[in-house]
Structure 1
Amino acid sequence: MTENSGKNFFCYNNRKNSKKYIEDEIIPNLTDGIEIVYLNGKKVESEYNAEFISEALYKLKNYSQFPHLMKIRNGKLIDKSINNPFYNVLNVNKPKNELLTKINRFFELTEIKNVA
């Protein structure tokens, strides 16, 4: 875990009504330094070490549903579900910027991409 300290992960799955929106509207607006983890059923798709990601997902403490955020700080895995805020954007038309700000705050990233 220590060798991955400082890493940030945005995790989502193949749920039909959200996958396209995440890939079209959220991922392009994430700041650099956030690794994307896609769960295609039980198969982990990521440019990152799949074994590490699988183990990390298995150990999630605050898992409710996807999308989910994970970060590694001081050798510890910290995670947070953003399922509720995400679906407020998707279904209730809340501003996308609010969700992106929550993601950046969780990862302690100050830079926010300019979203039209």
Structure 2
Amino acid sequence: MKFNPPLDVGTIAFTEDHKSVIVGVGNRGFGDVKILEVTVNNEENPLETKIQVSDSLQGFILLEDFTREEAQEYHFTNIADVVIKQERHLLLILKKLDEGTVTEDDEIYGISIIHTGEIANVHLEYSHFGMEI
């Protein structure tokens, strides 16, 4: 698993002050992926963490506050409540976008993180086939 991890990381976007970040993730594995824990910097727990489950046509939104009015149009969900379905490989989604064949059924996942200080790096712990990675 370490040589060919199923979790696929794509889009990474920060706010200007680097206190909020979104990390687009996909799944190139043969089973579902479940995010178990998200930490930032030196294994610090972020102030808030959610996952956006969106479709490729709508995309993601980057916010400093999940309660803002703009967030209502997007699906911010507790990470514990979401599994990243198999065959949600980011390159497959991009290929469909290029070909014009992407639909609302092509779900994308974005881990949204808000922290009190600047976010320098993000650590994701996840499980695949019951194994923690």
> By the TM > 0.5 criterion, same fold?
no
- Which is higher, the Rg of structure 1 or of structure 2? 2
TM-score range relative to shorter protein: under 0.3
Q: Report the TM-score, using the length of structure 1 for normalisation.
A: 0.27
Query: Which structure's relative contact order is higher, taking Cα pairs within 8 Å and 6+ residues apart?
Result: 2
Q: Report the TM-score, using the length of structure 2 for normalisation.
A: 0.25
More strand as a share of residues? 2
